[in-house]
């Protein structure tokens, strides 16, 4: 009898630890960063690029999750611009089409050659960027509030499709309409995440080799056996 009681208790305990049917179904219906493990309940797949990754539970608060999503989106967009600004000029300079300085000194050289005082540039940047960021944070707090007529007509046509996605003049080809919006959002955040990693890699490359990514790539292609992460004297102790 005691054996039967223990067996029954074990079965009940096993049943109680099973994930809810809905959670298991959702995990099976979409790709997850850790296949086979259920995603946190607050990551239900509704956000672009949601693969259920939140091992520390940082997004369990809905308002915090909303902020994180917007913060990631903005950083992703800046990273994509930054990555393109490093790779494209570097490649065109390498093949002889352009003759521009490397990314880590380009800003300093541009300021010296412009004849514009540094602090004047800082003030203009602060005003313009401050205006844009103020508009963005107000739209985050009150979606749709920064549309037509909110700034002398300058922002007419900026009424967002949804928070963080302005549409209008920022979507001249209408690619964000209908089902195309979800596809574009997914592609944007995935490419943005890669760009953020790339920018970190560019900084690490320069710290390790003193060169940019294009020079590093060409050096590696010319002699892959001797020019790689294991021979730069930094990546491996």
pLDDT digits (tens, 9 = 90+) for 28-75: 578 999 998 999 999 999 999 999 999 999 999 999 999 999 999 999
31-70 residues labelled b (16+ CB within 10 A) or e (exposed)? ebeeeeebbeebbeeebbbbbbebeeeebeeeeebeeebb
pLDDT value at residue 3: 45
pLDDT value at residue 156: 65
pLDDT value at residue 119: 94
Alpha-carbon Rg for the chain, nearest whole angstrom, is 25
Ordered by where they begin, the domains of the chain are 62-222 (1.10.3460.10)
**Burial degree of 144 (CB within 10 A; 0-12, 13-18, 19+):** exposed
Residue stretches of the annotated binding site for chlorophyll a:
72, 75, 187-188, 191, 193, 205, 220
Contact 52, 33 (CB under 8 A): yes
Q: What's the token pair of residue 23? A: 């959670």
**Residue 88: pLDDT over 70:** yes
pLDDT: which is higher, 116 or 159: 116
Alpha helices in the chain (DSSP H): 2-16, 21-29, 62-94, 103-114, 118-141, 179-209, 213-222
* Contacts with 165 (C-beta within 8 Å, 6 or more apart), sequence order: 176, 181, 185
Which run of H or of E encompasses 235? Answer: none
Q: What's the token pair of residue 235? A: 């990546």
**Residue 92: pLDDT over 90:** yes
* Rounded alpha-carbon distances, angstroms, from residue 41 to 44, 66, 128, 190, 213: 6, 15, 40, 22, 40
Angle between helix 213-222 and helix 179-209 axes, rounded to 10 deg: 70
Residue stretches of the annotated binding site:
72, 75, 77, 122, 187-188, 191, 193, 205, 220
**Mean predicted confidence (pLDDT) in 10-32:** 52
Query: What are the tens digits of pLDDT across the range 140-173?
Result: 888 777 666 556 666 666 666 678 887 777 788 8
Q: What's the token pair of residue 70? A: 């917007």
Percentage of the chain beyond pLDDT 70 is: 81
**Residue 12: pLDDT over 90:** no
Q: What's the token pair of residue 1? A: 């009898």
Reported as a pLDDT band with limits 50, 70 and 90, residue 82 is very high
pLDDT value at residue 157: 63
pLDDT value at residue 61: 97
**Residue 18: pLDDT over 60:** no
pLDDT value at residue 39: 94
pLDDT: which is higher, 162 or 207: 207
Reduce the DSSP state of residue 200 to 3 states and report it: helix
Q: Within the chain, what is the greatest distance between any pair of CA atoms? A: 93
Residue stretches of the annotated binding site for chlorophyll b:
77, 122
Q: Out of 84-93, 136-145, 209-218, pick the least confident.
A: 136-145
Percentage of the chain beyond pLDDT 90 is: 54
Query: Residue 39 and residue 53: Cα distance in Å, rounded?
Result: 7
pTM equals 0.81
What is the total residue count of the chain? Answer: 237
């Amino acid at each position: 009898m005691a054996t039967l009681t223990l067996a029954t208790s074990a079965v009940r305990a096993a049943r109680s630890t099973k994930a809810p049917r809905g959670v298991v179904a959702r995990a099976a219906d979409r790709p997850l960063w850790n296949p086979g493990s259920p995603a946190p309940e607050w990551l239900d797949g509704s956000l672009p690029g949601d693969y259920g990754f939140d091992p520390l539970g940082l997004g369990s608060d809905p308002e915090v999750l909303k902020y994180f999503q917007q913060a990631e989106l903005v950083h992703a967009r800046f990273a994509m611009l930054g990555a393109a600004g490093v790779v494209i000029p570097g490649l065109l300079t390498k093949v002889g089409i352009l003759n521009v300085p490397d990314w880590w000194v380009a800003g300093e050289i541009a300021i010296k050659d412009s004849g514009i005082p540094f602090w004047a540039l800082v003030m203009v940047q602060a005003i313009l960027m401050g205006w844009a960021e103020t508009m963005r944070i107000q739209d985050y707090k009150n979606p749709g509030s920064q549309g037509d007529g909110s700034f002398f007509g300058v922002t007419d046509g900026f009424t967002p499709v949804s928070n963080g996605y302005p549409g209008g003049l920022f979507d001249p080809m209408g690619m964000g309409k209908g089902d195309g919006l979800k596809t574009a959002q997914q592609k944007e955040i995935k490419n943005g995440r890669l760009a953020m990693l790339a920018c970190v890699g560019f900084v690490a490359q320069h710290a390790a080799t003193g060169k940019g990514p294009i020079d590093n790539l060409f050096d590696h292609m010319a002699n892959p056996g001797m020019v790689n992460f294991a021979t730069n004297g930094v990546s491996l102790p």
